[in-house]
Amino acid sequence: MAEQQAILSNDASPVRVRTSPHRIADRYPVGAILLCLVLACAAGAATLSNMSVQLPPALWPAAITNPDIEDMRQVLVHYAFLPRLAVSLLCGAALGLAGTVLQQVLRNPLASPETVGVSAGAYLALALATLLAPSLLAFGREWVALAGAFTALSAVLALSWHKGLSPLSVVLAGLVVSLYAGAIGAALVVLRHEWLASLFIWGAGSLGQQDWSTTLWLLPRLGGAALLIGLMVRPLTLLGLDDEGARSLGVPLGAYRFAGLAAAVALIAFVVAAVGVIGFVGLAAATLARIGGARRLGQQLLTAPLIGAALLWAADQAVQVATGPQGDLLPTGAMTALLGAPLLLWLLPRLALGAEAPALTVEHLPRSARPGLVLAAIAGLLLLLFGLALLYAPGPDGWAFPSGDQLQPLLSWRLPRVFAALAAGAMLALAGLMMQRLTGNPMASPEVLGISAGAALGMMVALFALNDAGRPVQTVAATIGAFAALLVTLAIGRRAAYAPERLLLAGVALTALFDALILVLTATGDPRAMLLLNWLTGSTHGVDAGSALLTGTIAFALFLAAPLFMRWLDMLPLGAVAVQNLGINLGAARLLVLLMVAALTAASTLVVGPLTFIGLMAPHLARRLGLSRALPQAIGAVLAGALIMVCADWIGRTAIFPRQIPAGLVATLIGGPVLMWLLRRR
Amino acid sequence: MNTDQSLSGEANRPRGLITRRGALALFILPLAGMVTPPAKARPLRIVCLDDGLAETLLTLGVTPVAVADRGVWEKWVVEPALPPEVADIGTILEPNLEFLQQLRPDVILSIPYLDGIKPLLERVAPVTTIGIYTPDGQPYQRAIEATRQLAALVGRESEGVALIAATEACFSDVRQQLAPLSARPVYVVNFLDPRNVRVYGEKSLFQAVFDRIGIRNAWTGETNYWGFATVGIDGLATSDDARLAYLEPLPEGATGTLTESPVWNAMPFVRNRSIMRLPAVLMFGMLPSASRFARLLTAALMAENARG
């Protein structure tokens, strides 16, 4: 222990300090401390103002030390206001600490509880346990949350492993896992259809308290995890070096990496189990600590929790100023996420992420000698399933092939749905293939670009701002939203010649912003939020012949244009330098590919909702089958995407007849595990 | 909490609480249809997408062919019982259209909330949209008009008139019984979790019942047009002498934790032991729900009063 103390007091990076020994600003994180003070002052002032609304200052001492149980105002201050204050400080500090450790261990300036999917995993585990197996919660919420958090983290690490856990791939995998968890959560709510969905309030990060039990529950757990991290400052510092350097110093990297991750994930799981998902405080605190001058890990581990605590304290008091003491209706966690997404957008140009090595070219997957045969096989399978999906389904008398005069009315329902599912799956697959070849990142998919989120935002505005928005109005609004999101993404990417990293991260930020908005809206309990959730799960239920035909026409037109892109798509994965040497205008090529992706995504999103894993999965499936050049892979992906979507729609219509599971959700549920298998370590 | 007395025998108690005339009218109504089939050759095949409309149909003596989300009925509507032959056509927002068509309905009853899928429903059968919960916030008036409309639709005008009369009679009976207890206002809530409730106020069906049975609603704040506001339970501390009536079903895990909370225990109605647990009543219902609520609330208030 004494030795440990001595090490802790040592400067872990002496070089940097020696260069300017006399300047205080270089030795201490002055900026971060100042920021902390400013935030604390603002939060303190808001706190005093909020408290004086509830209780005259003369009664404060009594209310704090020994409240008069007959006086409701004193009870509320002692058992509601003060514990809420304490919980906001504790959770903010825990998230700041967890964010810093995650960033250090993963060597990733974008890592945070939300961006690596840990919060979403913990939340989903708790939601599943609450709805399906409440008895599990009796063992302790923290164990359920921990299990979910670790599952999510394992999935994220597995998905980004072959990219060497690069910052971008980890964040993308985190987003994919978060979306996956969110889809399952939405499905639970939609399929159960109950008028009371309390999950929303808690899930959106409500800090409301009614006694000190949450505070007392959090204290030892957070304290234990923080202590563990405190004991590991030196090994964690070394983890920030490159592997060879650290290994030469005799550090067992793997063990410390795991211990650090475990401590951070535990912190996050405890916070989620106590108050739900608090968006972006971890990312903001860790980043602001570094920007504020905390260079050494020791300093960061001290300042980030302080900033996190001050941030969440200020945010929570601001929410209470806005809503009165009943802040639950504007969940603080969702509000911080709303503020955090713009912060992420602002940060993007300021982070040195390093360019990604092109990945698709170095994969050593088998190449099929006869791609034509493979394609014909998929096409045959597609035809078979298309027929089955149209003809074979349960009715009032069980599974049957309809005959005679039954056929016509049944087909009038099934044909548009199956056809729309087919077209949407095919378009999403092509969009995914283009995204993955453009960015050289196997985790890139159309929904990551933020276009789907934009479409959903448009839909949300139509539902809530306009009275009685019918389907045509919703479609127009969603289209406008999709293109607005595309414009934002392009504006952010323009300065970097549409560099893939910037585009993907802008998409991540937009998606996060949208998720936060959804949470705020659903927490109000407005029945219209159910309509939105229903659409979000990606159902083909509402497709009629007209919209199916329209979708098919758009798909056909876009597929006609697709061959023009194939040469670029063969070249782009070779890297920027190679492409420019071949005489291709890189910026123009990227822009055109992006516009094509946007058109494909928008057209399919309108039919099957914003969330499917087809775009992510189908190109990998095609590649696994040995289709490596752009054109055969594209055809294979399109066929596979159509196949999966038709299959998903069929399963969704028949599995729990007469109820239905939205096709987008079925595709997601199938797609998650399949994707893990496709991207398994090679 | 010793509020569980109100649970036992809730089906029997209300009968004694209102006059014989009102009670008889209410209880005989569903039977009336079964005894004398209407003159029509074939009864209308009705698919009903809203539980409020469905409970009215059942009370008029007409059994719909299918309803949406029928699994919800036993938990949230309870009364009148849904006959086992009524089919389930899936979720309210996405009823199974193929199945719907195979049921060959003559008419589909819908609400404005489902206007998004109306074009699809119209391909199966004519759709009658009846709005009870609308921005003008007059659910009771609209429920009466809708009852007449439904009664005319199924050719049971006299049963419709009787239902309206029975509901009004129920209210005036209850009003007399509750007159001695009307001084203290009542909150009506659903628990969302141990910390938050939906409290029903203006624009709710329950408010209309309160107005007619002479009880003051303790919640005077704003509500959305479905008639509720979502608040933390500390928001219910504004009235010192209010009673609290909370409706079943309770969310998983809410019961145990409630009694441990000091804020809960400091609430005026907890200290006065003025808490009543009511069996489920459809909060977005029509006349049958309104009189069910009046009867259950009366029973609970009388029991609470008897306790002292």
Q: Do the domain assignments include residue A144?
A: yes
Residue of A nearest to B97 (CA): A413
Q: Do the domain assignments include residue A1?
A: no
**Could you tell me the residue range of the domain that residue A71 belongs to?**
26-350
- Whose CA is closest to B251, among B296, B194, B200? B194
Contact criterion met (CB below 8 Å) for A349 and A520 = no
Shared domain check, A391 and A309: no
Give the mutation candidate from B49, B133, B204, B263 for the A interface (greatest A CB count, under 10 A). B263
Query: Exposure of B16 by Cβ count < 10 A (0-12 exposed, 13-18 middle, 19+ buried)?
Result: exposed
Shared domain check, A343 and A268: yes
The CATH number of the domain holding residue A70 is 1.10.3470.10
Shared domain check, A281 and A380: no
Tally of structural domains, chain A: 2
Residue of A nearest to B69 (CA): A193
Q: What is the pLDDT of residue B251?
A: 73
Q: Do the domain assignments include residue A14?
A: no
**Using CA atoms in the order A541, A545, A547, A552, what is the torsion angle rounded to 10 degrees?**
110
Rounded distance between C-alpha atoms, residue B215 and residue A354, angstroms: 70
Shared domain check, A620 and A521: yes
Gap from A46 CA to chain B (nearest CA, Å): 20
Return phi, psi of residue A8, to 5°. Answer: -60, -40
Contact criterion met (CB below 8 Å) for A156 and A117 = yes
CB spacing of B120 vs A202 below 8 angstroms: no
Residues of chain A in contact with residue B234, where contact means CB-CB under 8 angstroms, are 76, 80, 210, 325-326
Residue in the structure block whose two tokens are 């939060």 = A43
Rounded distance between C-alpha atoms, residue B20 and residue A352, angstroms: 82
Edge to edge, what strands does the sheet with B107-110 contain?
A: B87-88, B66-67, B46-48, B107-110, B127-129
Contact criterion met (CB below 8 Å) for A308 and A247 = no
Mark which of A315, A350, A385 sits at the end of a domain: A350
Chains A, B: CB contacts under 8 A, how many?
Answer: 149
CB nearest A539 (choices: B94, B98, B113): B94
Count of C-beta atoms within a 10 Å radius of residue B8: 10
> Amino acid letter at A614?
I
Gap from A483 CA to chain B (nearest CA, Å): 24
CB spacing of A541 vs B72 below 8 angstroms: no
CB spacing of B99 vs A196 below 8 angstroms: no
Residue ranges, CATH 3.40.50.1980, chain B = 4-18+181-307, 20-167
CB spacing of B98 vs A471 below 8 angstroms: no
Write out the H or E segment, with its range, that includes residue B168.
helix B157-178
Q: Do the domain assignments include residue A575?
A: yes
The domain B20-167 is classified under which CATH number: 3.40.50.1980, 3.40.640.10, 3.50.50.60, 3.90.1150.10? Answer: 3.40.50.1980
CB spacing of B263 vs A539 below 8 angstroms: no
Q: What is the pLDDT of residue B113?
A: 83
Write the DSSP assignment of A607-618 as a string of letters.
HH-S--SHHHHH
Q: Do the domain assignments include residue A104?
A: yes
- pLDDT tens, N- to C-terminus, chain B (308 residues): 444 444 343 444 444 445 555 555 555 555 544 444 445 557 889 999 999 999 999 999 999 999 998 888 888 888 888 999 999 998 888 888 888 988 899 999 999 888 878 888 998 999 999 999 888 888 999 999 999 999 999 999 999 999 999 999 999 999 999 888 888 899 999 888 777 788 999 889 999 999 999 999 999 888 888 888 888 787 888 778 889 999 988 876 555 566 677 888 888 888 888 888 899 999 899 999 999 999 999 999 888 888 76
Q: Do the domain assignments include residue A458?
A: no
Gap from A401 CA to chain B (nearest CA, Å): 14
pTM of the model: 0.79
Give the mutation candidate from B100, B113, B118, B196 for the A interface (greatest A CB count, under 10 A). B196
Residues of chain B in contact with residue A474, where contact means CB-CB under 8 angstroms, are 116
Give the mutation candidate from B49, B91, B114 for the A interface (greatest A CB count, under 10 A). B91
Q: Determine the 3-state secondary structure of B179 from DSSP.
A: helix
Query: Exposure of A294 by Cβ count < 10 A (0-12 exposed, 13-18 middle, 19+ buried)?
Result: buried
Cβ density class B87-122: b for 16+ within 10 Å, e for less? bbbbbbbbbbbbbbbbbebebbbbbebbbbbeebbe
Beta bridge partners of A393: A400
Return phi, psi of residue B276, to 5°. Answer: -125, 135
Q: Do the domain assignments include residue A21?
A: no
Shared domain check, A329 and A378: no
- Alpha helices, DSSP H, located in A495-585: 500-523, 527-536, 545-561, 566-571, 576-581
Question: Could you report the predicted ipTM of this complex, rounded to two decimals?
Answer: 0.75
Q: Strand pairing of B196-200 and B186-191?
A: antiparallel
Rounded distance between C-alpha atoms, residue B18 and residue B299, angstroms: 10
CB nearest B226 (choices: A213, A395, A527): A527
Return phi, psi of residue B239, to 5°. Answer: -110, 130
Shared domain check, A383 and A345: no
Residues of chain B in contact with residue A412, where contact means CB-CB under 8 angstroms, are 123
CB nearest B113 (choices: A69, A211, A527): A527
CATH T-level topology, domain B4-18+181-307: Rossmann fold (3.40.50)
Residue in the structure block whose two tokens are 């306790």 = B307
Which residues in chain A land under pLDDT 50?
A: 1-21, 355-362, 682
Rounded distance between C-alpha atoms, residue A388 and residue A380, angstroms: 13
Count of C-beta atoms within a 10 Å radius of residue B26: 23
Gap from B266 CA to chain A (nearest CA, Å): 6
